[in-house]
Amino acid sequence: MKTQVNLQAYNSFGFHVMAKHFIEINDARELDRLFRTPEYKHEKHLVLSGGNNILFTNDFFDGIVIYMNNKGIKTVADDGEKVVVRVQAGEDWPEFVRKMVEKGLYGVENLAHIPGKVGAAPVQNIGAYGMELKDSFLKCEAVNLETGRKRTFDNKECVFGYRSSIFKGMLKGQYVITSVEFQLSKHGELRLDYGNIRSYLSEHGMDNPSLQQLHDAICAIRDAKLPDPKVTGNAGSFFKNPVIKAAQFEVLQQQYPDIPHYDEPDGKVKVPAGWLIEKAGWKGWHDEHVGVYEKQALVLVHFGNGKGEDIVYLAKQIQKSVEEKFGILISPEVNFV
Ligand code: EPU
């Protein structure tokens, strides 16, 4: 275990945050040893994965940061059509997707290029371009941070929802995910209907794309719209897209006939927070340290030398003005620590 470690490279916002203690886990079995240390018994702890969906609101974490970096991708079942792949939590998510696509396995291709690690993906049920992690998630192994006991969670037990799961809800902070199993297929239908995927492909002469071509197109679309955290600090979408009642939506639509929206199965309507934030005048706003990304208003960015509290303040101002203009309270997708 190290002491006084700078977490700047471990949070995609790139904030300078010191951790009192820091331990890197390269094999899930090392957790047992950690649980027996005196530090673990006395200090609070935080499980850190890729740090791509986290906002440190203070510049000191007074406890133990457990950094999951265990590696390994293994095929555990193959019936000629369905393939089950077990992935250790510390594997890089976009790298895993790239490998599956190269093998010709369908099921995670639309989730290409989402920064982060595999172990964090179920926590917020990552999603993009009409696909969510829960669509191919079979089960995960997790360890109880209090008792040290292992437990398997199947798809149902994870209670997946839009950018949520039991690990973000009822069991928040109680488990560390050590590995995830996915059920993938050797054949599949590509999902091309979301947003501008089809138009992008056809502009590039790919009306009938292969699995690999779709993967590469999604990487290009994301690159064009979302800032690279290695260059500009950010945590992807900062807010969730709010889901509102049909009656409220109809009133909004009369005022703004061009408002983009997605109908939800329960009759409610999901409205893009990025659109609301842009209409409230925030897109491209910035001061010296933080701002609202100029190509996608849902992403808050850190240009350097700022603090987590600058983002907290900006987020609050955005929430307030969106609520004043549209009567909709948008809530953060990013986890605050
Ligand atoms: N829009 C604007 N202005 C903006 C941003 C968006 O008008 O500044 C409009 C777009 O024109 C479009 C609609 O809002 O009509 C939706 O935008 P987009 O397709 O970019 O997707 P999103 O709803 O803003 C969600 C996810 C992203 C995911 C994309 C693509 C959430 C919170 N975000 O964003 O996920 O990549 O769809 O599937 O659901 C993430 O979670 O970190 C993330 C990046």
Active site residue 294: no
Q: Please, are residues 244 and 251 in contact by the beta-carbon 8 Å criterion?
A: no
Rounded CA gap, 17 and 289, in Å?
Answer: 16
Residue 271 has pLDDT above 90, yes or no: yes
The residue from 30, 39, 157, 163 that is catalytic is 163
| Annotated catalytic residue, options 91, 132, 141, 333 | 333
Q: 141 falls in which pLDDT band (50, 70, 90)?
A: very high
Domains and CATH numbers, the chain: 2-68 (3.30.43.10), 73-185 (3.30.465.10), 233-336 (3.90.78.10)
- The secondary structure element, H or E, covering residue 44 is strand 44-48
Cα–Cα distance for residue pair 179/140, rounded to 1 Å: 6
Rounded CA-CA distance 167/134 in Å is 13
Confidence at residue 40, expressed as pLDDT on a 0 to 100 scale: 96
Annotated active-site residue 36? The verdict is no
Straight-line distance from the first to the last Cα atom of the chain, in angstroms, rounded to the nearest whole number: 21
Q: Which is it for strands 44-48 and 175-185: parallel, antiparallel or unpaired? A: unpaired
Question: What is residue 195's predicted lDDT score, i.e. its pLDDT?
Answer: 82
The residue written with tokens 């701002």 in the block is 291
Q: Which helix (H) or strand (E) holds 247?
A: helix 246-255
- pLDDT tens-digit readout, 27-63: 999 999 999 999 999 999 999 999 999 999 999 999 9
Residue 115's pLDDT is what? 97
What is the rounded CA–CA span in Å between residue 44 and residue 114? 29
Global confidence as pTM:
0.96
86-133 pLDDT tens trace: 999 999 999 999 999 999 999 999 999 999 999 999 999 999 999 999
Instruction: Please give the mean pLDDT across all residues of the chain.
Output: 97
- Centroid of ligand 1 to alpha carbon of 272 (angstroms): 6
Ligand 1 binding site (Cβ under 6 Å of any ligand atom)? 128-129, 195, 225, 236-237, 240-241, 260, 272, 274-275, 278, 283, 296-298, 333
Going from the Cα of 6 to the center of ligand 1, the distance in angstroms, rounded, reads 32
Residue nearest (by alpha carbon) to ligand 1 atom 7: 275
Q: How far is the C-alpha of 136 from the C-alpha of 154, rounded, in Å? A: 11
Residue 237 annotated among the catalytic residues of the structure: yes
- Token pair 């986890």: residue: 335
Q: Which of 168, 155, 79, 69 is nearest to 119 (CA)?
A: 69
> Which residue's CA is the closest to the ligand 1 atom numbered 33?
237
Give me ligand 1 centre to Cα 273, in Å.
Answer: 8
Question: Is residue 177 scored above 90 in pLDDT?
Answer: yes
Q: What is the residue whose two structure tokens read 């049909």?
A: 246
CA of 187 to the centre of ligand 1 (A): 28
Say if residue 220's pLDDT is above 90.
Answer: yes
